[in-house]
Structure 1
Amino acid sequence: MDLTEEQRELRVTVRDFLRDACPPALAFTGSPEARAGDPRALWRRFAGELGVAGLAIPEQYGGAGCGMAEVAVVCEELGRSLSPLPYLSTAVLAAEAVKACGDEEAKRRLLPRIADGSATATVVLPGEAVLRLEGERLHGTVPYALDGEIVLAYVGRSLVEARPTARRPHATVDRTRPLAELVFDGVPVRRLGDARPSARVRDLGVAGLAAEQAGGAARCLAAAVAYAGKRHQFGRPIGSFQAIKHRLADMLLVVESARSAAYAAARATEEELPVRAAIAGSYCTEAYLAAAGENIQIHGGLGVTWEHDAHLSFKRATSDAQLFGPPQAHRARLAASVFPASPAAARRVATRVPRTH
């Protein structure tokens, strides 16, 4: 997938920052003192100093006025580095929800804070929780949410901003994607707009996640190629064996196809977005799972040890596969648009298991 000169420079800048300031192992130690400094300070540096949190935010609100294609470049590098930074929830979901809400006061108040990295944010999408509004009070619990300081939720026909009564972090297998239970016990809300843009916000979230998954799959390919070149058996690098060559060639095809699907979704027009996001959500999820599994297989016994980081990619791929719904859910949405007059054909497409390796 071709990038512009500016996008290539952005990729290099983000990759260099993540390599130096946020190596993957630090996200998995579980020990605060072993992490890469204060997580909030790290987010402020990444979002504010690099200016990446405001890439798709209009200039009048402190952003760069770019588009989803530039955001996808950042997402790809975050996925490649297994970064725990809350970019997807803050700079993609929350920023897009606020931009589409129609409340000018909310845009002036929230978008600059997202753009300069002074706040993180998250969005509760329709179907992710049973929430109800009683007047101007919000009740209910979100069992699993990407956590953020600013919480926006689509409830009924409205987008609201509310402060949770309680936040209960989950102990998850994948520590790169912190999840929490959010409790709303009659808390006051601020109404920001109606819920009609929620489908587009979800599609953009799927596109951003697909770019992350493409980056994660590329990381797995690079690790597998490097190991196949240095691991020797019978006096030869294992990468010279035909069986390993075939596995690596298949991985390369999967990775490049995933990148194409992810960037096609990121560059989609309003009319194209629902279909392209569904394609990317289905294919990139399967691709990341396949690449992560092959990486472990090529590493052999070493790949299943705790000391090697191959398991980190597999955990991330597994958790990503559930974030906006499994691949079957994306295919079902795609099939309904491709075969609107044939429910039986749509069901066959939705339940088909694609070959990605």
Structure 2
Amino acid sequence: MTDGTPVPDLLYGGSEDDLRASVRALLAARSDPATVLADLEAGRPCDTGLWEALAGGIGTAGLLVPEEFGGAGASAREAAVVLEETGRSVARVPYLTSAVIAVSALLGCDTAREPVAGLLTRLAAGAVGVLAVPLPTAPYQAFPAARPTVLAGADGALRGTVTTVADARCAEVLLVPADGPRGPALYAVDASAAGVATTALTPLDLTRPLAALTLDGAAGTPLATGERAVAAVRGALTAGAGLLASEQLGIAEWCLTTAVAYTGTRTQFGRPVGSFQALKHRMAALWLDIAAARAAARNAADALATGSPDTPVAVAVAQAYCAPVAVRAAEECLQLHGGTGMTWEHPVHLFLKRAKSDESALGAPGRHRAALAELVELPAP
């Protein structure tokens, strides 16, 4: 471009394709629909065996962690590829919450300090960390995002309640935003420590467990204070929202692929229903929407990877567009399957519930559209 602004790279590189192949092969073998449904019936909060293989075996937990802390030193582009694949399989692993959001929060702190460096090393090795904010929290909300506010005493003891925390039941480390003696602060809390209570909630999307987190005098280790803590939390939520678009893209792609395959084999009046013009048009329109969603998701991932000054705009666009596309793709897939898609045994309902849950996660589309209007200086009348 003539003004010297870098051109976003929306294409996948060779290393990203290799990573995709490895992750897809693992998920196809370990996270097929029958396995996911069996885990849900057993009431397990997450698939720990799959997480160990994905996080440690392939090394995806440390993609965003610098090499000096045991990570791969990769970028948001690679993390986006993993999320596309976990979206395609509704994998019950805490990749978004731990490897993306929690790691990003730690990277926003002073990584030269031992508490932060040690936690980065643990998360890169596969330990699960969770930022203790409600799942619907958008990057634009005031700090601390949790309501009611968690308060920290002078001794670092934390008290308060945070609702709808995703993957809290799987967590080993909790990163808790709180109002401390000197204002905003971010604390690390051992999830198994005294004074920490996690109460399971019943979410719409059973593949991403939610819990209410209650802290009653739990010991917290300060990681950042003041504006640095505020920026760390906001940066983590921004990264999470931007890369959530890649998960939504994966959901939409699975739904379209599955609908096309099913309508090609389901016959009516002696013909595959997929040959009917009305259904062809519906699937063609959805393909176009998904192609646009892919561009928006890749643009957000590239902006996060390069530290582009347009990152807030790219993230807002990605969430405002990709969230509704994923929901529509899942709804179309369910309808095109007829009654079969409504049954517990068929996996389509899992994708619809994940898409609906993702639509409200890290800010609803309307919240992102409002933020986008302010970012590009086009406020509503």
TM over 0.5: yes
Shift in Å, 1:218: 0.3
What is the distance in 2 between the residues matched to 1:77 and 1:128?
A: 30
What is the distance in 1 between the residues matched to 2:230 and 2:365?
A: 25
Which position in structure 2 is the counterpart of 1:162? 189
What is the distance in 1 between the residues matched to 2:20 and 2:233?
A: 29
Shift in Å, 1:8: 0.5
1:57 aligned residue (58, 65, 69): 65
**Number of positions where the alignment pairs a residue of Structure 1 with one of Structure 2:** 340
2:14 aligned residue (5, 20, 23): 5
Structure 1, gaps ≥5 residues long:
346-357
Partner of 1:168: helix, strand, or coil? strand
Residues 1:329 and 2:367 are matched in the alignment: yes
Shift in Å, 1:13: 0.5
Partner of 1:344: helix, strand, or coil? coil
What is the distance in 2 between the residues matched to 1:94 and 1:166?
A: 20
Moved more, 298-307 or 260-269: 298-307
The question of whether the paired residues in 2 share the 8 Å contact of 1:200 and 1:274 is answered with no
2:309 aligned residue (271, 289, 292): 271
Partner letter of residue 224 of structure 1? A
Within a 5 Å distance, the mapping from 1:224-303 to structure 2 comes to 224-268=259-303, 269-303=307-341
Could you say what the CA RMSD is over the residues aligned between the two structures, in angstroms?
1.8
Which position in structure 1 is the counterpart of 2:82? 74
The question of whether the paired residues in 2 share the 8 Å contact of 1:28 and 1:175 is answered with no
What is the distance in 1 between the residues matched to 2:315 and 2:359?
A: 14
The question of whether the paired residues in 2 share the 8 Å contact of 1:261 and 1:276 is answered with yes
The question of whether the paired residues in 2 share the 8 Å contact of 1:27 and 1:175 is answered with no
What is the distance in 1 between the residues matched to 2:354 and 2:257?
A: 17
The question of whether the paired residues in 1 share the 8 Å contact of 2:105 and 2:232 is answered with yes
The question of whether the paired residues in 2 share the 8 Å contact of 1:152 and 1:161 is answered with yes
Which position in structure 2 is the counterpart of 1:131? 150
Which position in structure 1 is the counterpart of 2:50? 42
Within a 5 Å distance, the mapping from 1:167-178 to structure 2 comes to 167-178=198-209
Which position in structure 2 is the counterpart of 1:141? 161
What CA deviation, in whole Å up to 9, does each residue of 1:139-163 have, x standing for no partner? 1101110112210022242111124
What is the distance in 1 between the residues matched to 2:347 and 2:47?
A: 21
Moved more, 214-223 or 305-314: 305-314
What is the distance in 2 between the residues matched to 1:43 and 1:230?
A: 35
What is the distance in 2 between the residues matched to 1:25 and 1:319?
A: 21
The question of whether the paired residues in 1 share the 8 Å contact of 2:107 and 2:232 is answered with no
What is the distance in 1 between the residues matched to 2:36 and 2:207?
A: 6
Residues 1:319 and 2:357 are matched in the alignment: yes
Moved more, 190-199 or 93-102: 190-199
Compared with structure 1, are the counterparts of its residues 24 and 305 closer, same or farther at alpha carbon in structure 2 (3 Å cutoff)?
closer
Q: Which has the higher contact order (CA 8 A, sep 6+)?
A: 2
Partner letter of residue 221 of structure 2? R
What is the distance in 2 between the residues matched to 1:42 and 1:220?
A: 23
Shift in Å, 1:40: 2.6
What is the distance in 1 between the residues matched to 2:222 and 2:178?
A: 10
The question of whether the paired residues in 2 share the 8 Å contact of 1:278 and 1:331 is answered with yes
What is the distance in 1 between the residues matched to 2:55 and 2:237?
A: 22
Partner of 1:28: helix, strand, or coil? helix
Shift in Å, 1:270: 3.8
Which position in structure 2 is the counterpart of 1:344? 380
The question of whether the paired residues in 1 share the 8 Å contact of 2:48 and 2:93 is answered with no
Partner of 1:181: helix, strand, or coil? strand
Using the aligned pairs only, state the percent identity: 40
Partner of 1:102: helix, strand, or coil? coil
Residues 1:113 and 2:132 are matched in the alignment: no
What is the distance in 2 between the residues matched to 1:70 and 1:205?
A: 14
What is the distance in 2 between the residues matched to 1:140 and 1:26?
A: 36
What is the distance in 2 between the residues matched to 1:25 and 1:271?
A: 43
